Amino acid sequence: MPTEIKDDNHIPEILKELSELSSKSVDVGWFGEMAIIAGVQEYGARIQVTDAMRGMFAAMGFPLKESTKYIEIPERAPLRTTAEKLSALDHLADVLEAELFELLNGRKSASQVLAMMGEVMVGEVRDTVANGLKPENHPMTILMKGSAKPLIASGDLLRELGWEEVND
């Protein structure tokens, strides 16, 4: 009677998942219409004052000086600030190590690893914003929204923060 050998290794599946993982990445940020607003916050903006803007500010109770030719929105860089935080990088490395362990043991797919990394990075950016970015809001902005903390008003910006899996 012949001996039957059963091979339960999952190396081919793991190699396939590793290959998929190496060909993809995760983009974190704002997508769609919110990307414009987020871009202004990330890099700042210099907006030329028009007569219509003067009228709008005056109607809101914040008349602009005649000498004001531009409105300066300072950069606050929630994405770059998060990327520069050592604690965020350490946390991401720890999560990635744990996720790769799960993938190598056949318990997670490349897509699941990328999803976890996307969620963790979004959480890190939200923490950066919640902890406050400099500079604080302009006194006029503070009066309008009732807070000196930048990027937190209606909650739309943080709600729209997300991630996407992309093919490299």
Question: Residue 66 falls within a domain, yes or no?
Answer: no
pLDDT in tens, 69-123: 999 999 999 999 999 998 888 989 999 999 999 999 989 999 999 999 999 999 9
Contacts for 121 with CB less than 8 Å, ≥ 6 apart? 26, 28, 82, 92, 163
For 151: left if phi > 0, alpha if psi spans -120 to 50, otherwise beta; the answer is: left
What is the per-residue pLDDT for 79? Answer: 96
CA atoms within 13 A on the CB side of 113: 28
Provide the number of structural domains found in the chain.
1
Question: Residue 20 falls within a domain, yes or no?
Answer: yes
What domain range is 88 assigned to?
Answer: 11-29+77-167
Q: Which amino acid is at 20?
A: E
pLDDT in tens, 41-79: 999 999 999 999 999 999 988 899 999 999 999 999 999
Question: Residue 59 falls within a domain, yes or no?
Answer: no
Question: Residue 116 falls within a domain, yes or no?
Answer: yes
What is the per-residue pLDDT for 141? Answer: 85
Q: Which of 102, 48, 101 is nearest to 71 (CA)?
A: 48
Question: Residue 36 falls within a domain, yes or no?
Answer: no
| CA distance readout (Å), 101 to 66, 95, 115 | 63, 10, 15
